[in-house]
Amino acid sequence: MTASLSPTAPLSPTARSTIRRGARRARTDRAELYAVLDAGLICHLGVVLGDAPVVLPTAYGRIDDTLYLHGSTGAGTLRAAATGAPVCVTVTHVDGVVYARSVFHFSMNYRSAVVHGRARIVDDADERLAGLRAVTQHVAPGSWDHARLPNRKELAATAVLALDLDEASVKVRTGPPVDDDEDVAAGGRWAGVVPTRTVFDVPQPCPLLPPDTPAPPHVAAR
């Protein structure tokens, strides 16, 4: 695991993690990278298979400056990522649809983090458990201490990958549309933002639970 950098350390952009389009939307604090990653439920993992990109949704977790991914040892994308080939992990939150007065200026409010690098397969037993814990706690906080932990057979079937967060970019758009002056002056067209957000609904207990089993606090709190 990489030692944690200061949350205010710059993201140390390389050429490909330097945002060129919409550079005013680029964020450069490590704390903002953490915030975007920690607020997500899933990431989109990109690998190259043959000469083609493959992008699949997957769970992840973070410990300091390391992102952990897990999956079946049989999954093609995980296997490809585990060879040390380049990967890209992207986490996106859509915060709103930006309605402009002109079609050209329609946009989205969003927060996105893009991490480039080469993943390493985690072999060390302690780090494997720590990585799996990070993924579980990320997706379902409190669950590592509630659920049965993985046994030897389950661990053998699970690949754990680590990706260092040293090449990453963060982009954030907020606020109202940016329209041309003439369109604002012309009037007659609505403009603004329709905010979007992800909500958690009432937990649905497994039908195999005894009737009226209450959801424990770590579930009910969502």
- Enumerate residues 145-184 that contact a copy of itself by CB under 8 A: 146-151, 154, 158, 176-177, 179, 183-184
Rounded-to-integer distance, Cα 100 and Cα 80, Å: 42
Residues 110-149 that bind a copy of itself (CB under 8 A): 110, 112, 114, 116, 132, 136, 139-140, 143-144, 146-149
Whole-number Å distance between alpha carbons of 70 and 85: 16
Find the binder of a copy of itself among 1, 5, 48, 121 (CB under 8 A): 48
Tokens of 103: 């079609």
* Sequence-separated (6 or more) residues with CB below 8 Å from residue 21: none
168-173 and 52-58 beta bridge pairing: unpaired
CB 35 to a copy of itself: min, Å: 17
CB of 34 to a copy of itself, least distance (A): 19
Closest CA to 5 of 164, 172, 170: 164
CA–CA separation, 191 and 99 (whole Å): 5
Residue (8 or 174) nearer to a copy of itself, CB: 174
Q: Is 201 in the site for a copy of itself (CB under 8 A)?
A: yes
**Under the criterion CB under 8 A, does residue 211 sit at the interface with a copy of itself?**
no
Contact call for residues 91 and 113 (beta carbons, < 8 A) = yes
Beta carbon of residue 44, minimum distance to a copy of itself (angstroms, whole number): 4
215 binds a copy of itself (CB under 8 A): yes
Quick one: which of 3, 57, 125, 152 contacts a copy of itself (CB under 8 A)? 57
